[in-house]
Amino acid sequence: MRAILVPIIALLTGAAFLMLGNGLMGTLTSLRLDMAGASATVVGIVNAGYFGGLTLGALFAERVIRRVGHIRAFAALASLYSGATLAHALEVDPWIWLTLRFVEGLCMAGLFICVESWLNHRATNVTRGQILSSYAVTIYFAQFLGQFMLNLPDETGFLLFVLISILMSLAVVPVAMTSTPIPTMPEVASFSFKRLWKVSPLGVYGAGVGGIVFGASYGLAPVFTQKLGYSVSETATFVSATILGGLIIQYPIGKLSDILDRRVVLVSLFIAQVAISGLMIGATFLGFWYVVGCAVMFGGISFTLYPLSLSHANDHLESHELVAAAGGLLLTYSLGATIGPLFVSPLMDAIGPNGLFAVLLLLGVVSSFFAAWRVRARPSVPMEEQGKYHVVPRTSAVSAAMDPRGEDADGQLSFDFDAPAPEEEQAEAQRLAAE
CATH of the domain at 91: 1.20.1250.20
Q: Check residues 163 and 116 and name the one with the higher pLDDT.
A: 163
Domains: count for the chain: 1
Q: What is the pLDDT of residue 249?
A: 85
Alpha helices in 123-148 (DSSP H): 128-146
Q: Which tens digits make up the pLDDT trace of 358-401?
A: 999 999 999 999 999 988 877 776 666 666 766 777 766 666 66
Q: Which residues contact 416 (CB under 8 A, 6 or more apart)?
A: 190, 191, 192, 193
With CA atoms as reference, report the closest residue to 378 among 431, 307, 325: 431
- The rounded distance, in Å, linking the Cα atoms of 189 and 419 is 10
With CA atoms as reference, report the closest residue to 343 among 222, 229, 227, 209: 209
Contact call for residues 82 and 59 (beta carbons, < 8 A): no
Q: What is the mean pLDDT of residues 409-425?
A: 44
What phi and psi, each to the nearest 5 degrees, are found at residue 192? -75, 125
- The rounded distance, in Å, linking the Cα atoms of 243 and 26 is 13
Terminal-to-terminal C-alpha distance of the chain: 46
Q: Check residues 21 and 191 and name the one with the higher pLDDT.
A: 21
Query: Does residue 181 surpass a pLDDT of 50?
Result: yes
Buried b / exposed e over 323-348, threshold 16 CB at 10 Å, is bbbbbbbbbbbbbbbbbbbbbbbbbb
Q: The domain containing residue 59 runs over which residues?
A: 2-176+185-434
Q: What is the rounded radius of gyration, in angstroms, for the C-alpha atoms of the chain?
A: 21
- The rounded distance, in Å, linking the Cα atoms of 21 and 243 is 15
CA dihedral defined by 170, 176, 181, 185, rounded to 10 degrees?
80
| Identity of the amino acid at 410 | D
Q: What is the pLDDT of residue 415?
A: 43
Q: Which residues contact 371 (CB under 8 A, 6 or more apart)?
A: 202, 205, 206, 263, 266, 267, 270
Choice among 53-57, 126-130, 401-405 with the minimum mean pLDDT: 401-405
With CA atoms as reference, report the closest residue to 247 among 139, 360, 403, 113: 139
Q: Which tens digits make up the pLDDT trace of 212-245?
A: 999 999 999 999 999 999 999 999 999 999 999 9
Q: Which tens digits make up the pLDDT trace of 140-171?
A: 999 999 999 999 887 777 899 999 999 999 99
- The rounded distance, in Å, linking the Cα atoms of 19 and 115 is 12
Say whether pTM exceeds 0.95.
Answer: no
- The rounded distance, in Å, linking the Cα atoms of 232 and 209 is 29
